[in-house]
């Protein structure tokens, strides 16, 4: 009875290890890895695939060798892991493989909140890596705002940003957020940042839809404070970028 | 030689199987109309993304830690470790805390190792400093802490305070050099045939390097499952707090300089997440909790939690385990409070 338990357990472990390797590899190849972690850690996931494969293989050998020995199977080195203890590792496996990858969006903003302060954290992508070509993104603008507390200083400056729509109870009737998530390491530290957009068609936009906003900045009102707000010339629907997060 | 080639072929076959499997999942199955996908409402989707994200970031470090544990168990003897310890009582205690830098062991691996070190005649204080310091002061944990927090105040504070607490508590035990008063009698009896690094009686053979490597990978696989389940549980709890608990509640606890420290120390004790990856659990709180509480979590968690307390009880006398629980807890709370109230990081 105990021998059967060990064999079954080892088979289960080998399947889970192989399956986790599969999960990591599939996320690397279909590009959704960036939905979960900072791109600079992608190589770690590849290392994970290699190690998981090696461990799965080791367990397969253990099974083959045990079968070869037949009845005289030696006492296996176990920590007394039970079915439940092993099965629990199937949770990330099943969720990772079966639930389609989708980046954090409006629903996550509901849980975490959104703000105008750009997260500052050591260890993020260095300045050199952040090639500033093209229009400033939301994070760039928020950093500028932090440097200069006078919202009127930005009046008239041209803005060209992409983000997803979010409506906040604090928003005025004709105001929406255009937002992105900023992450340093992985979704664990993701925080939502955005710019405010003043538009008469605010009601027409649904949360989570991606938009491309071009316009000019003007000092406006939000939650009782004076902050720079975008007066848009154009708001077009946009494609969710391959890499939906911003890195501070 | 034949065995090695067979293994190499099997490894290549497994990798090809994984590649083929991925290709099938992504391309062939949808064509056949079979898309194994579970579409979820938004909140559930956010929950899954956050949870899987935690696992994806943490798993590589857990795997590296497991491999290290496996290699240490098979290839390193207590003699090797004892050789590195200096004679002087105080230097030895400091070295005990730092040994993990050369011989990385995880929180879970620490207790079996310290038992063997005591059997080899190491002083009490060195073993204590080792138990408290090695779970954090090792390359894998430092790497994962860097991945989560970068070279920030939190990163350096974790390393510095862990060393100080491990050294401090270790030095406290220099007043009781008599090992027999500190450990349980069974601790000093050599273990027969049960520990992982001893070749089972009846099969004495010269082990090749390949066989030992395979055995260390076997140990690594077991370690990964042992530690992995705590990672899963810890991730589920952290994700629930971050996704399902209203932001206001978290912020009101997290921003309070005293409550936040107590709360995260309690969480650290309960969660029992391996030190190789608890930095990512802590990261979930970085936007809502004070720095002092996060540092307290990162210092206290690897030293004492439900899992390690149970292991301590197997090696140390009950009175000693109480000290091992209370001293680091007081230190962590003090550190957290001072950081929040006086230093204001």
| Residue labelled with tokens 């770690």 | A44
CA distance linking residue B82 with residue B160, whole number of Å: 24
Q: Identify which of A123, A90, A122, A84 has the alpha carbon closest to the alpha carbon of residue A22.
A: A90
Q: pTM to 2 decimals?
A: 0.85
Q: Would B296 be classed as within a structural domain?
A: yes
B269 and B121 in a common domain? yes
Cross-chain residue pair B238–A24, CB shorter than 8 Å: no
Q: What is the CA radius of gyration of chain B?
A: 22
CA distance linking residue B327 with residue B334, whole number of Å: 11
Q: DSSP class of residue B27? A: I
Distances (CA, A) of B41 to A182, B30, B45, B47, B173: 23, 22, 6, 10, 55
Q: Would B1 be classed as within a structural domain?
A: no
pLDDT tens digits for B238-278? 999 888 888 888 889 999 999 999 999 999 998 888 899 99
Q: How many domains does chain B have?
A: 2
CA distance linking residue B85 with residue B97, whole number of Å: 11
**Do the bridges between strand A191-198 and strand A114-115 make them parallel or antiparallel, or are there none, so unpaired?**
parallel
Q: Would B234 be classed as within a structural domain?
A: yes
- Two tokens at A21? 């390797």
Q: Would B146 be classed as within a structural domain?
A: yes
B16 and B49 in a common domain? no
B69 and B213 in a common domain? yes
Note the pLDDT of residue A121: 61
Chain A contact for B297 (CB, 8 A cutoff): no
Residue of B nearest to A50 (CA): B15
Q: Predicted confidence band at B209 (pLDDT cuts at 50, 70, 90)?
A: confident
B23 and B74 in a common domain? no
**Pick from B56, B146, B220: which is nearest to A55 by CB?**
B220
* Beta bridge partners of residue A230, listed in sequence order: A197, A217
Residue A187: list chain B partners with CB under 8 A.
Answer: 49-50, 53-54
What is the interface size between A and B, counted as CB pairs within 8 Å? 224
Residue of B nearest to A26 (CA): B22
Domains and CATH numbers, chain A: 2-98 (no CATH), 106-246 (2.40.50)
Residue of B nearest to A23 (CA): B22
Region B310-323: what's the mean pLDDT? 90
Chain A contact for B156 (CB, 8 A cutoff): no
B85 and B28 in a common domain? no
What's the domain range around B66?
Answer: 38-199+206-343
Residue B49: list chain A partners with CB under 8 A.
Answer: 35-36, 101-104, 108, 187
A 116-155: CB under 8 A from B: 119, 121-124
**Least confident span in A60-64, A110-114, B36-40, B302-306:** B36-40
Helices (H), chain A: 2-29, 42-69, 83-87, 90-98, 106-112, 138-147
**Pick from B38, B203, B219: which is nearest to A77 by CB?**
B219
Cross-chain residue pair B57–A41, CB shorter than 8 Å: yes
B230 and B156 in a common domain? yes
- Two tokens at B228? 């992995």
B63 and B19 in a common domain? no
Note the pLDDT of residue B27: 63
Question: In a structure prediction context, what are the per-residue pLDDT tens digits for chain A, which is 248 residues long?
Answer: 345 547 888 888 999 999 999 999 999 988 899 999 998 899 999 999 999 999 999 998 888 887 776 644 444 444 444 667 788 999 999 999 888 889 999 989 988 888 888 776 654 444 444 556 678 889 888 888 888 888 888 899 999 999 999 998 888 888 999 999 998 888 988 989 999 999 988 888 999 999 999 999 999 888 888 889 999 999 999 999 989 999 88
Residues counted in chain B: 345
Q: How close, in Å, is residue B50 to chain A by CA atoms?
A: 6
B297 and B220 in a common domain? yes
B214 and B250 in a common domain? yes
Which value does ipTM take for this structure? 0.89
A 150-169: CB under 8 A from B: none
Region B14-41: what's the mean pLDDT? 66
Chain A contact for B21 (CB, 8 A cutoff): yes
Interhelix angle B318-338/B153-172, nearest 10 degrees: 140
Q: Predicted confidence band at B22 (pLDDT cuts at 50, 70, 90)?
A: low
pLDDT tens digits for B141-159? 999 999 999 999 999 999 9
Q: Identify which of B158, B60, B139, B63 has the alpha carbon closest to the alpha carbon of residue B98.
A: B139
Q: How many Cα atoms within 13 Å fall on the side-chain side of residue A21? A: 25
Q: Would B284 be classed as within a structural domain?
A: yes
CA distance linking residue A172 with residue B116, whole number of Å: 67
B48 and B14 in a common domain? no
CA distance linking residue B240 with residue A189, whole number of Å: 14
CA distance linking residue A166 with residue A163, whole number of Å: 9
Q: DSSP class of residue B199? A: P
Chain B contact for A69 (CB, 8 A cutoff): no
Residue B57: list chain A partners with CB under 8 A.
Answer: 36-37, 41, 44, 185-186, 188
B86 and B13 in a common domain? no
CA distance linking residue B284 with residue B235, whole number of Å: 9
B235 and B262 in a common domain? yes
Q: Would B2 be classed as within a structural domain?
A: no
Chain A contact for B172 (CB, 8 A cutoff): no
């Amino acid at each position: 009875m105990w021998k059967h338990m060990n064999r079954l357990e080892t088979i289960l472990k080998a399947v889970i290890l192989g399956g986790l390797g599969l999960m990591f590899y599939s996320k690397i190849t279909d590009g959704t890895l960036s939905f979960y972690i900072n791109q600079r850690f992608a190589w770690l996931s590849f290392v994970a695939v290699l190690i998981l494969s090696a461990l799965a293989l080791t367990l397969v050998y253990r099974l083959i060798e045990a079968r070869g020995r037949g009845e005289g199977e030696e006492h296996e080195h176990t920590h007394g892991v039970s079915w439940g203890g092993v099965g629990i590792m199937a949770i990330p496996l099943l969720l990772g493989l079966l639930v389609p990858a989708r980046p954090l969006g409006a629903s996550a903003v509901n849980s975490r909140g959104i703000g105008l302060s750009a997260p500052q954290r050591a260890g993020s992508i260095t300045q050199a890596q952040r090639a500033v070509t093209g229009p400033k993104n939301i994070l760039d603008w928020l950093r500028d705002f932090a440097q200069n507390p006078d919202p009127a200083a930005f009046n008239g400056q041209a803005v060209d940003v992409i983000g997803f729509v979010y409506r906040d109870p604090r928003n005025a009737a004709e105001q929406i957020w255009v937002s992105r998530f900023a992450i340093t390491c992985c979704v664990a530290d993701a925080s939502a940042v955005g710019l405010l957009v003043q538009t008469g068609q605010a009601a027409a936009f649904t949360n989570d839809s991606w938009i491309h906003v071009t316009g000019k900045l003007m000092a406006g009102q939000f939650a009782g404070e004076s902050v720079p707000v975008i007066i848009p010339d154009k708001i077009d629907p946009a494609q969710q970028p391959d890499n939906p997060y911003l890195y501070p | 030689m034949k065995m090695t080639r067979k293994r190499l072929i099997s490894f290549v076959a497994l990798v090809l199987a994984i590649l083929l499997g991925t290709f099938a999942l992504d391309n062939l199955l949808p064509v056949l109309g079979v898309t194994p996908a579970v579409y979820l409402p938004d909140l559930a989707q956010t929950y899954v993304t956050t949870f899987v994200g935690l696992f994806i970031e943490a798993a590589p470090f857990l795997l590296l830690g497991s491999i290290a544990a496996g290699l240490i168990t098979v290839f390193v003897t207590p003699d090797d470790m004892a050789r590195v310890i200096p004679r002087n009582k105080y230097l030895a205690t400091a070295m005990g805390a730092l040994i993990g830098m050369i011989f990385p062991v995880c929180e879970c691996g620490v207790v079996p190792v310290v038992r063997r070190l005591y059997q080899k005649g190491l002083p009490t204080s060195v073993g204590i400093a080792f138990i408290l310091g090695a779970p954090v002061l090792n390359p894998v944990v430092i790497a994962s802490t860097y991945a989560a927090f970068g070279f920030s105040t939190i990163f350096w504070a974790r390393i510095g305070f862990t060393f100080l607490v491990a050294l401090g508590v270790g030095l406290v035990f220099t007043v009781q050099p008599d090992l027999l008063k500190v450990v349980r009698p069974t601790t000093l009896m050599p273990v027969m045939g049960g520990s992982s690094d001893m070749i089972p009686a009846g099969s004495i053979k010269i082990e090749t390097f390949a066989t030992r490597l395979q055995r260390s990978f076997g140990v690594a696989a077991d370690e990964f499952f042992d530690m992995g389940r705590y990672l899963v549980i810890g991730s589920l709890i952290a994700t629930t707090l971050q996704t399902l608990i209203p932001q206001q509640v978290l912020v009101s606890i997290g921003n309070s300089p005293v409550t936040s420290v107590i709360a995260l120390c309690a969480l650290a004790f309960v969660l029992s997440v391996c030190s190789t990856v608890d930095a990512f659990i802590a990261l979930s709180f970085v936007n809502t909790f004070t720095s002092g509480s996060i540092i307290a979590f990162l210092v206290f968690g690897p030293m004492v939690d439900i899992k390690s307390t149970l292991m301590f009880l197997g090696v140390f006398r009950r009175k000693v385990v109480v000290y091992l629980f209370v001293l680091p807890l007081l230190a962590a709370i003090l550190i957290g409070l001072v950081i929040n109230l006086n230093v204001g990081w």
